[in-house]
Structure formats: C-alpha cells, structure tokens
Amino acid sequence: MTYQPPVQDLMFCIEHLSHWDQVSKLDKYADFDLTDMEAVLDGYARFCAEQIAPMSYEWDNSGAKFDNGKVKLPQAHKDAYAQFVDMGWQSIAHPAEFGGMGLPRCVGAASVEVLNAADMSFGLCPLLTDGAIEALMLTGSDEQKATYLENLISGRWSGTMNLTEPQAGSDLGRVATKATNRGDGTYGITGTKIYITYGAHDLTENIIHLVLARTPDAPAGPKGLSLFIVPQKMVNADGSLGAENTVNCGSIEHKLGVRASPTAVLNYADATGFLIGEENRGLEYMFIMMNAARFAVGVQGISTADRAYQRALAYARDRVQSRPVNGSSKDAAPIIEHPDVRRMLLRMRALSEGGRALAATTAGLLDIAHETHDKNALMLAEFMVPLIKGFCTERAVEVASLGVQIHGGMGFIEETGAAQHYRDARILPIYEGTTAIQANDLLGRKVMRDTGETARQFAAQIAATEAALAAGDATAQAIGAALASARRSFEAALDYMIEHSRSDIDAAFAGSVPFLMLTGTLAAGWQLGKSALAAQTALSAGRNVPFMTQKLATALFYAQHILPECAAEEARIIHGASSLLAAAFPE
Amino acid sequence: MTYQPPVQDLMFCIEHLSHWDQVSKLDKYADFDLTDMEAVLDGYARFCAEQIAPMSYEWDNSGAKFDNGKVKLPQAHKDAYAQFVDMGWQSIAHPAEFGGMGLPRCVGAASVEVLNAADMSFGLCPLLTDGAIEALMLTGSDEQKATYLENLISGRWSGTMNLTEPQAGSDLGRVATKATNRGDGTYGITGTKIYITYGAHDLTENIIHLVLARTPDAPAGPKGLSLFIVPQKMVNADGSLGAENTVNCGSIEHKLGVRASPTAVLNYADATGFLIGEENRGLEYMFIMMNAARFAVGVQGISTADRAYQRALAYARDRVQSRPVNGSSKDAAPIIEHPDVRRMLLRMRALSEGGRALAATTAGLLDIAHETHDKNALMLAEFMVPLIKGFCTERAVEVASLGVQIHGGMGFIEETGAAQHYRDARILPIYEGTTAIQANDLLGRKVMRDTGETARQFAAQIAATEAALAAGDATAQAIGAALASARRSFEAALDYMIEHSRSDIDAAFAGSVPFLMLTGTLAAGWQLGKSALAAQTALSAGRNVPFMTQKLATALFYAQHILPECAAEEARIIHGASSLLAAAFPE
C-alpha cells in the first residue's frame, strides 16, 4: 500500500476554506498564487510519498537505538533526512530573510500533514525544529536569530522543546531545573528533562535545545520560569561548531508507538545556556509558540487519520469475503461493498476531511491575525487551536482504531501496518498538552475570559453557513439542518458554561472535554458545510465532478452520522456534572 | 499496581442480576448456595491476583517464541499454568461427570473475567479449551467424550478451534481444508489454518484441535463443512499418548497485543482426524458452541476494561499535578481530584460494571434456558450474546484508551502497563466474529427472524424496570428517565429495522452496528438500573453502605453520560442510510 498525498483536497481547502481571498492580499504573500503553492506542495508530496512513506513500518520496527549515551537511527532514515534537508523542505513556511520559502501557513499546515502521514516518527524531528524556529523568531535576540535560525530553517540543525520533568508534566509550574547566571552572558543549566522528542539523535550536526529552567531567586510556580537556548554543540563566533555541551542523554523510552522517534531523558550538568528574552518570562514565551506546536500536533492527527483511511480503503477494495447482504450475488464481494465496511470507511474519511478543513481555515485566520492584527481573526484563530489539537487527535485515535477493525484479523498483525497507526495515534491526545489541558484552555481562556463573545461570533458564523445551505438543494438543506441542530446544542452548552463560570466552576469544568468535543465536532461540520457549498458551485459549473461529488457525500455523511453526537455531549454537559462530582472512589 | 479481583461486585451481580432465584432452584445446581460460590470465586481470584497478574507485562514483553517448528513460553508461564491445572481451575463450570466442579454459568463467567483481567494472554488457553469442551459435550460421541473430556476439563490437555484460512475469515463458507474418509473410522485432514490461538505451545502434554474441513463430495459453501477432532498426539486405547500427528506449526504471528498467546499457522498434512457428529453439519455444531465462545470473548472485554480502570485509578490517586480548578488550594492535587480525570475514571468504571451486569444476567438466562428449555429465556439469552460480544469488546477498546489517557505521557511508555491493555483490547472486537458479524447476527437472526418479538419483550422488560425506578427517590427517577429515553430510541430504531427488513435490506444493515451499540448501551444501562434498585434496597437496610453508594453513583453516571449516546445511534440508523449507501469511493 502506497500513500497518496491528498493534494487535491488540500488545495480545495486552501482555495475555499483558508480565507484565501484575504490571505492572498497580504503583502507578505503577494508573490504566491494558488498555482505556485500547488507546485510546491506537489513536489513535497512526491518526496514524502516516495522517500518516506514506504519506509515507515521498517523504521518503526527497528526503532531508535540507544547505545552508550548515543542514539542511532537506521541509515535509510538518515539518508532520507539528508535528502529532506537538501531539498529545503524544512523551510516551506519560514521567512525568506533566513533562507525560508516564506509560504503562507495554510501551505505549511498542508506540508505538515503530508510529512506526518508518510511517517509520524520522521515528521516529529522537523515539527520540533519548527517549534524552535517559531520561538526564536518571536522571542530571540537579533544575535540569537543570526546564530541559529538559518541552520534550523535549512534543517541542518534540529530543535527540541525541554519542558517536562518527572514531577512537572501538565503542571509546568513545578519545573525544578536550575539556571545559574554565570555573569559572562551565559547560564549554567542543571537538571533532568524527560520525554524530549528527538532530544538525542544522529540526523543532524547539532541540536538546539530550548529549556525551561528556574533561576535561584525566581518566584515559585509558573511565574519563575525562564527560557534558555542550550546548544548540544557550542557554536563558535564564526558559526563553526565547537565543543560538546554538558547535556547527556541518559536513556530513551520504550514506547507504544512512534518508535523511530527517540524520546530522550536529558541530563543537564551545568550545561551552557543562553537566556531568551527576560528572566521569569519563559512560560509566557512558551505559550506564544504553543499555539503553533499545538496546531501542528492537531495536524498530525489528520495525517494519521488519513493514512489509516487510505490503508483501510485499499484493503477493503482487495479483500473478498462474504456475499452481499441484499442477496444480489451468490459470489463473495470485496468487503468495501458491505454496508458496515462502508460506514467505517466513510466515518474515517469524514473525520479526516473535517479535520483538514478545520486546520485550513485556522491556518488562514492565523496568517490574517499575525499580519493585520485583526482582533476578531486572532480571537477566532485562538479559539480554534485547542479544537484542532483536542478534536483532531482524539478523532485520530478513533479513526486508527476503525482502520484496524476494517482489516479484521490482519489488522492485529504488525506487518499489515494498520496497527502502527493505532499505536502512533495514541500519543497525539497526550503530548503538547492533553485533551483536558486543551479543554481547559478552550473553556478558561477562550470562552470564559470574554464571557462567550468569541464563542457567540463563532456560532453566528455557523448560522450564516446554515442559511446559505438552506437555500440550496435537498443535500445542502439536510446538511444545514444537522448543522443547525448541532449549533443549538453548542449554544445551550455555552449558556450553561457562562452561567456556571460564575456560580459553580467545578460543574463547568466537569463538562470541559465534552464541551471541547462538541465544539470541535461542530466546527469541523461547519467547515464541511462550507465545503459542500463550494462543491455545489463547482458541480453547477461542471468542474471536477468526481471529486466534488465525493466532497458533498462526505459532508452529508458527516452531518448525518457525526453531528448527532453534539446532542449527547450537550446532555453530558448540562445534566452530567452532579453525578460526576458526587461519585466517590472508595479504596 | 496489583490487580484486585472485583469479587464483591461479581457476587452482587450473581445475587441480584443473574436470576439467582430461578437458577438456584435448578436440580443441577441444588448443591450450591451463594456462600459456596463466593468461596470458590475467592480462591480463584486469589490465585489469579497473586500468581498471574504480576507476570502479565513480563510475559507479554518476552512473548511466545517460535523455534524450528516449536513454540516456547517462558518457564514462569509454564509453572503458573501447571499450578492452574493442579488447583483444578479449568473445571469450574464443567460437569462433575467428567471431573468438573459443575458450578453455574454465572460463576463460570466471573472466573473468566478474573483470569483474563489478570492476563489475557494466559486466559486465552483455558478459554479455547472451554470452547473445545463445550463442543465435545454438545456434539461428541460417548467414546469421544470418554477419550478427551476428562483431560480437557482438568486442563492437562488444551483445545483449539481451527476455523480461519487465508481466504476464509468472516466467510467460513470458503473453508478449503480437505477431509478424506479413510474407511477405517478416521479421516485424513489436509490444509492450512491460520490465526489458531494456542495452536502450538508447551504448556500441556497434548493439544486437541477442532477443525472445520470439507469432504471431497460435500456441497460448496457453508453447508459442506464437517467438524473433526485432530489430536496433536494420538491417544492410545488405554488413554496413553501415542505418536505425533502430522500437524505442524509453520509460524506464529507478530501481533499488536496478547503477545504471550501464540497465534499459529497450522499445516495439516494428511493428519488423522475423527468426525464429530455427521458430515456437513460442522458449521451448525460450530454455531452451537459459538454462543459460548462469543460470550467468553465479551467477558474478556469486561476483564480488560476493569484492569485498565484499576490501573488508571491507582495512578490517579498517586500522581500529583496542578492545583484544583476551583481554586480551593494553592497546592497541586492528586489528579483524581480534577473533574476531567474523574469523568474518565467514572466512564471506565460505568462501562466495566455495565458490561459485568450484562454478562451476569445473560449467564443466568443461559443456565435457565439450557436446563428448563424455557423458550423465552433462550430467545432473550441469544439476543444478548451478540450484545455482550459486540458492545463489551468495543467498549473495552474505548476504556483501555481512556486508561492510557489518564496516565498522560507515562501511558505511552510500555513499562507502565496501560499501553498493554490498549494493545490487547484491540483484538476483542475482531476475533470470534467482528462487531459487524455480531451486528448481523443480532439484526438478522435475533431481531428480523421473529419480526422483532424478542426485541419487544426486551423493551417491555426495560419499561418495567423504568416503572420501578420511577417509584424511587430522585436518583432512581433520574436513572429511570434516562433509561426511558434510551429505550424509546431503541424502539424507534427497531421499527425502522423491521420496516426496512421488508422494503430495503441494505438500508437496514447500513445501521447494523449502530443498532448493536444502541442495544448494548441500553441493555447495560438497564442492568445498572436494576443494580440501582437493588442498591437502594440494601441502603435502606443499611447494608454495605460504601459499596452500594458507589453502585448507585455508577448507575447514575452511566444514565447521564452514556445512555445519551443511544439518541445519536438512533439518528444514524434512521437518517443515515442513504448518505452511507450512496457515497462513492473514487480511485
């Protein structure tokens, strides 16, 4: 089974959902049109499909190896990474000023999807490097940018994020790694960081660690954290590499999935670090880049879902088993003809395409927000980020599980590959903030802080899409009706949340994840509703008929099979808090 | 983390849900009372918790080894199995006539749950032996019973079921293994069987394979299959073991989970087999024992869910992270205090206990049906079996996934153990008939065949429980109201199914799995509703207050958080067929 990057759907989403009419008018992107972007994406997709995707099972099966403090990856993995660097693929969405291609975020998101669908373990190294680039772009000094950015954007060096410690996971206020100002412009960093993705590896000449640590006189808790650059190898004034820093890899983890992505324990023993920005503002800087990292992990969910879908689809076409239930033939049929296999495949496709649509629209909003400082765009984009992270990753687990199911017994055999997606997907709702953390972000920061104003604007925009659908044909009307019902569930849940934010905060947060799932399910359904409108316009003009027909069918399936879940989430939120909060857990 | 067998809840279910008032009056079980059964279960539970459960991760991690045609299991696994045999644990629910303890099925089900919670890989060997015993009891000749049963019931020999071939999975009509009558009372069996659980291993002196094969002149399709006993080692007339039969293990599979359970490819090269019953009735015999095997796999779902729950609960009590969201403390709290962790734990507990309740009531019905030939009991029990298999196993996947989520990053590390449940659970909705096969059984054989009569009796019994709940306190009333709403969804879906069984069979089967999940979710909710009634009676009398309070809380949580899913399933069934059937899958 080969991976076929969904370039047509990615471009459909960019053209119709990513606010391309506005993004294309931004000065920063004046040089690009849709054709240019498609050409870049096509080239990238070909590289991912041909060089990465066929190796995914083999790399996972051999896994990263730890030997005497060093982490080794298979030679083929190293070769593919070298090609990735040679072709400049790390640089797609990074600024031209430091050697990047400078393409808009919607193309960046598409490229993240395709690479991670080809192989999530491979994709994690560039993803973390993207995070480090984003952090340095936003918060680094000119000298720091000059020292590190070009080599990170080329992919010759990689980046890491060092947040977690054994006692400090979701709760970063408990970070204990120490940073001592040496008085010479450097800090001595001492402590142990865990779960560091690509914390040690042999793909690049250097690794740039971004490390949260605490100066001796810093306040306790989250407001006493500072952010440091700790290069694995020191960088000389002329840009050449110097001595090894005192950062050692103690071990790598034996993980359920993404086994070709080394997850390191890093021991910092008075390692040389450079402060980013000001002391005690580290967590604030982390939050700035966290939107980007969370968005990217959400996109990994779409990647995993689509790859699992493609694999299951190929199997369902090939595998012949049992006669049609309607008695139309005496011969066994390819299982894709059996209604329940269709149901599972369509569910996988609808959730994949729904997630992709959500990511595209948010990428566009982020571009508009960053370039024009449009407050509404920023608020809505920030409202969407926890949905993409929370909803797309939870759905990825579900979709990967369906992918195994479609394979039957074969799905449980590792060599088939379906199980790898099921294993890989499971980290997605955990890292870069668990689903509960995303739900707290959505509810606390994005909904309650403005007493639901952004949430109501979101609902109003959905109502506008419903109105447009109501003016369409029977399919559009059915989608619009399901959307309206889901949107009303959202509004009822929102009212409940705003009311309880004042009167009973525990009762509100008891429904935080149901609220996130309701909102994410609705948001993706909304974008598929907009997709249906665009597809109907295209069909009226006779353009891309098979693709547009399929798009419409996916949107209708989503409306009829997935949007009804919103009412169940509403019921949980509105009626479920007391049973949740009152229950005891006797020893 | 140690496994604590839920003996109290198992006994609660036996006492209050398994129709114990009727079962205890059956001649066959006249010798047993609840105290006897609890004593047996206690002893068995202690063995499983002490000798099996602590080894589960280690056995899975080393896995079964294949070496030159032989399968080897770790010495500790062999030792534990030898103890299992010495203590007579294989024999719990098998007839005294062949050396069994002869306990009722409700105790048998409880013992299956506990063993498989301790270690599913270990549990699979006795589970398959149970299947072989059941088949021989029901369909074997007196001579066959005399030759094999005692050693199977003691556990000294194990049994296997050989159905699947590469081209014949769900579709057993495609079985091609040949059986040639040698004219001396034996058959020569030739062919390849795959996915044979414990098809080869070194735990027992002999392995008794039950094999579906086709005689040369048999009709094509499912009606030409015959069932054979193929002993791995021939059994001499005096009961001693003779020569090795010509059955060879070609390889074992590299699986996602249950890695300490060898899954073998078996090559039959004119192996000596003995016909069971009559030629061409093999599939019919298989169906007789399939209810038992499917029931047992459903129970494995409960096992996995409960073990995952216990592990997550222990972690959530220990792990301290983040302050309470209501600001009640400045210190970080054990994560069990955070609302969303409570939500996940309660969901795990409610689904585990709901499944257990469903299994207990069905075990009781099966006992009544088999001993009294009560048609209503038999029809309802057979209606329940696909629910237990389909619902409990799908829910096990969900619960195991929540278990990983509660552990955060630790959940993704194999040594934690949470990931093992997630891996193990994934085979449950596949083997012994996928969820779609269960749904077809429910819809085709158990609902449409009697045009919904049994289904309507099921709904009427639920309505009676609702009425009893409506007469209770506020908690009981809330449970009753949620149950009524879910039951109405079921009735609407049932009407749709009966109507479309005549007019549009594809449109009916498009909703087969949603119908199974709706019905299973409702059935478990019903049994928890009955549990709530029993708990309230006990509480009024001041008996077992902490346990009964917890039982009531679980039932209320299930009603408010899980039963609302029935309405979403109803919507999918009633409105979702056309979008599912019409969608195309372009290349």
Q: Residues of A numbered 215-234 whose beta carbons fall under 8 angstroms of chain B's beta carbons: which are they?
A: none
Tokens matching residue A163: 């947040």
Tokens matching residue A419: 């199980």
Tokens matching residue A327: 């008695």
Q: Beta-strand (E) ranges in B56-174?
A: 65-67, 70-72, 157-162
Look up B432 and say whether it is catalytic.
yes
pLDDT on residue B586 = 78
* Min Cα–Cα distance to chain B from A421, Å: 11
pLDDT on residue B55 = 97
How many CB pairs (< 8 A) connect A and B?
253
- Confidence check: pLDDT of B194 > 90: yes
- Confidence check: pLDDT of B384 > 70: yes
Element (H, E) at A268: strand A263-275
d(CA A286, CA A437): 15
Q: What is the CA radius of gyration of chain A?
A: 24
pLDDT in tens, B81-111: 999 999 999 999 999 999 999 999 999 999 9
pLDDT on residue B507 = 97
* Min Cα–Cα distance to chain A from B309, Å: 12
Count CB-CB contacts under 10 A for residue B206: 18
Nearest to B123 by CA among B217, B44, B187, B194: B44
Element (H, E) at A76: helix A75-86
pLDDT in tens, B214-262: 999 999 999 999 999 999 999 999 999 999 999 999 999 999 999 999 9
**Nearest residue, CB atoms, B556 vs list A397, A430, A579:** A579
Q: Which residue of A has its CA nearest to B550?
A: A584
Q: Which residue type occupies B18?
A: S
Please count the CA atoms within 13 angstroms of the CA of B8 that sit on its side-chain side. 10
Cβ(A196)–Cβ(A160) under 8 Å? Answer: yes
Chain B residues inside the 8 Å CB shell of A513: 340, 343
SS (H, E, C) A448-516: HCCCCHHHHHHHHHHHHHHHHHHCCCHHHHHHHHHHHHHHHHHHHHHHHHHHHHHHCHHHHHCCHHHHH
Element (H, E) at A242: strand A241-244
- Confidence check: pLDDT of A401 > 70: yes
Please answer yes or no on whether B256 and A413 come within 8 Å at the CB atom.
yes
pLDDT in tens, B256-297: 999 999 999 999 999 999 999 999 999 999 887 788 899 999
Q: Locate tokens 């006779």: which residue?
A: A542
Sign of CA dihedral A71, A419, B354, B481: positive
Element (H, E) at B467: helix B453-470
Q: Which residue of A has its CA nearest to B579?
A: A557
- Confidence check: pLDDT of A319 > 60: yes
Selected from 3.40.630.10, 1.10.540.10, 1.20.58.1610, 3.30.1380.10, the CATH number assigned to the domain covering B7-153 reads 1.10.540.10
**Nearest residue, CB atoms, B405 vs list A423, A430, A512:** A430
pLDDT on residue B20 = 97
Q: Is the Cβ of A542 closer than 8 Å to some Cβ of chain B?
A: no
Q: Which residue of B has its CA nearest to A559?
A: B576
Based on DSSP, count helices (H) and strands (E) in chain A, helices before strands: 20, 11
Q: Residues of A numbered 163-202 whose beta carbons fall under 8 angstroms of chain B's beta carbons: which are they?
A: 164, 167, 169-171, 174, 194-195
Q: Provide the phi-psi class of B68: left if phi over 0, else alpha when psi is between -120 and 50, else beta.
A: left
Cβ(B260)–Cβ(B137) under 8 Å? Answer: no
Q: Which residues pair with A72 in a beta bridge?
A: A65
pLDDT in tens, A348-377: 999 999 999 999 999 999 999 999 999 999
φ, ψ at B226 (rounded to 5°): -120, 160
* Min Cα–Cα distance to chain A from B92, Å: 29
Nearest to B175 by CA among B197, B198, B195, B148: B195
Instruction: Tell me how long chain A is.
Output: 587
**For residues B519-547, b (16+ Cβ closer than 10 Å) or e, as one string?**
bbbbbbbbbbbbbbbbbbebbeeeeeeeb
Q: Locate tokens 């009333």: which residue?
A: B477
* Min Cα–Cα distance to chain A from B28, Å: 37
Second CATH level (architecture) for the domain B158-279: Beta Barrel (2.40)
Please answer yes or no on whether B553 and A411 come within 8 Å at the CB atom.
no
pLDDT on residue A586 = 78
pLDDT on residue B137 = 94
Q: Locate tokens 């890695």: which residue?
A: B259
* pLDDT-above-70 percentage for chain A: 100
Q: Is the Cβ of A389 closer than 8 Å to some Cβ of chain B?
A: no
Q: Which residues pair with A276 in a beta bridge?
A: none
* Min Cα–Cα distance to chain A from B142, Å: 35
d(CA B348, CA B305): 7
φ, ψ at A27 (rounded to 5°): -50, -45
Q: Which residues pair with B370 in a beta bridge?
A: none
Q: Residues of A numbered 334-363 whose beta carbons fall under 8 angstroms of chain B's beta carbons: which are they?
A: 336, 338-343, 345-346
Q: What is the mean pLDDT of chain B?
A: 96
- Confidence check: pLDDT of B349 > 70: yes
Tokens matching residue B216: 């040369």
- Confidence check: pLDDT of A1 > 70: no
Nearest to B263 by CA among B73, B435, B429, B526: B73
* Min Cα–Cα distance to chain B from A372, Å: 35
Element (H, E) at B178: strand B178-181
Please count the CA atoms within 13 angstroms of the CA of B186 that sit on its side-chain side. 10
Provide the CA B413 distance to its chain's centre, in angstroms. 27
Tokens matching residue B523: 């059935």
Instruction: State pTM to two decimals.
Output: 0.98
Count CB-CB contacts under 10 A for residue B65: 13
Q: Is the Cβ of B556 closer than 8 Å to some Cβ of chain A?
A: yes
Q: What is the mean pLDDT of chain A?
A: 96
Please answer yes or no on whether A346 and B405 come within 8 Å at the CB atom.
no
Please answer yes or no on whether B565 and A568 come within 8 Å at the CB atom.
yes
Nearest to B134 by CA among B199, B30, B208, B231: B208
- Confidence check: pLDDT of B1 > 80: no
Cβ(B561)–Cβ(B351) under 8 Å? Answer: no
Nearest to B370 by CA among B558, B136, B104: B104
Instruction: Kindly name the residue from A113, A165, A337, A432 that is annotated as catalytic.
Output: A432
d(CA B149, CA B162): 18
* pLDDT-above-90 percentage for chain B: 96
pLDDT on residue A292 = 87
Cβ(A331)–Cβ(A323) under 8 Å? Answer: yes
Q: Which residue type occupies A491?
A: E
Q: What is the ipTM of this complex?
A: 0.97
Q: Residues of B numbered 367-386 whose beta carbons fall under 8 angstroms of chain A's beta carbons: which are they?
A: none
* Min Cα–Cα distance to chain A from B345, Å: 9
Please answer yes or no on whether B581 and A547 come within 8 Å at the CB atom.
no
Count CB-CB contacts under 10 A for residue B96: 13
CA end-to-end distance (rounded Å), chain B: 50
Q: Is the Cβ of B567 closer than 8 Å to some Cβ of chain A?
A: yes
d(CA B457, CA B490): 12
Strand pairing category for B157-162 and B178-181? unpaired
Instruction: Kindly name the residue from B134, B382, B432, B466 that is annotated as catalytic.
Output: B432
pLDDT in tens, A485-523: 999 999 999 999 999 999 999 999 999 999 999 999 999
Cβ(B136)–Cβ(B144) under 8 Å? Answer: yes
| CB within 8 Å of B160: residues ≥ 6 apart | B128, B132, B196, B197, B198, B199, B207, B208, B209, B210
Q: Is the Cβ of B327 closer than 8 Å to some Cβ of chain A?
A: yes
pLDDT in tens, A457-477: 999 999 999 999 999 999 999
d(CA B13, CA A584): 20
The model's confidence at residue B526, banded by pLDDT at 50, 70 and 90, is very high
φ, ψ at A242 (rounded to 5°): -110, -140
Reduced to 3 states (helix: H, G, I; strand: E, B; else coil), residue A134 is helix
Please answer yes or no on whether B339 and A254 come within 8 Å at the CB atom.
no
Checking B433-437 for CB contacts under 8 A at 24+ apart, the result is: B433/B170, B433/B290, B433/B294, B433/B389, B434/A405, B434/A408, B434/B170, B435/A405, B435/B390, B435/B393, B435/B394, B435/B513, B435/B516, B436/A338, B436/A340, B436/A341, B436/B170, B436/B512, B436/B513, B437/B170
Strand pairing category for B206-213 and B157-162? parallel
Second CATH level (architecture) for the domain A155-280: Beta Barrel (2.40)
- Confidence check: pLDDT of A78 > 90: yes
d(CA B116, CA B356): 13
Element (H, E) at A275: strand A263-275
Chain B residues inside the 8 Å CB shell of A435: 405
Chain A residues inside the 8 Å CB shell of B419: 256, 426
Reduced to 3 states (helix: H, G, I; strand: E, B; else coil), residue A427 is coil
d(CA A214, CA A279): 9
pLDDT on residue B54 = 97
The model's confidence at residue B205, banded by pLDDT at 50, 70 and 90, is very high
Instruction: Give the CA dihedral B183, B185, B191, B195, nearest 10 degrees.
Output: 170
Nearest to B139 by CA among B315, B291, B288: B288
Q: Residues of B numbered 253-282 whose beta carbons fall under 8 angstroms of chain A's beta carbons: which are they?
A: 253-257
| CB within 8 Å of B188: residues ≥ 6 apart | B178, B179, B180, B182, B270, B271, B272, B273
pLDDT in tens, A521-530: 999 999 999 9
